Amino acid sequence: MNYPKTVEDGYRKLAFGGIGSAVRLLFLREDESLPNFGNLDLYCVQEIRRGKDGILEIKFYDRLRAMECLEAYQNHSQGEPIQEALSACAKALNHDHDSAV
């Protein structure tokens, strides 16, 4: 998997990245092994869990929130300091994660 090299690349990948690898996981049977697990791109995935009934649940990061953070990052010179913008976005992403659990 190619990890983003910059914060901006990371937000861009969260906002616009593909979900094909996660979809492949959804169609994988419970008794089936996954070859080349390291080749899956699960960067946009926030959480994966298998319920007691065997159903796989995949939760993705909020793309709209990532776009907001990307915009804040790109516009940091016109407004608030970048540290404040990134901190606000990180808190928002953590709040979304905490409220979902």
Separation of alpha carbons 93 and 100, rounded Å: 11
Structure tokens at 62: 């909020």
* Residue-level pLDDT at 62: 95
* Residue-level pLDDT at 19: 94
* Residue-level pLDDT at 100: 52
Residue 19, burial from CB neighbour count under 10 angstroms (0-12, 13-18, 19+): middle
**Secondary structure class of 79 (helix, strand, coil):** coil
Nearest partner of 41 among 76, 6, 13, judged by Cα: 13
Give pLDDT tens digits along the chain (101 positions): 677 888 889 999 999 999 999 998 888 777 777 667 778 899 999 999 988 888 889 999 999 999 998 888 887 756 566 677 777 777 877 766 555 54
Torsion of Cα atoms, 10 then 50 then 97 then 100, to 10°:
150
Asked if 70 and 94 touch (Cβ cutoff 8 Å), the reply is: no
Each domain of the chain, given as residue ranges in start order, spans: 7-100
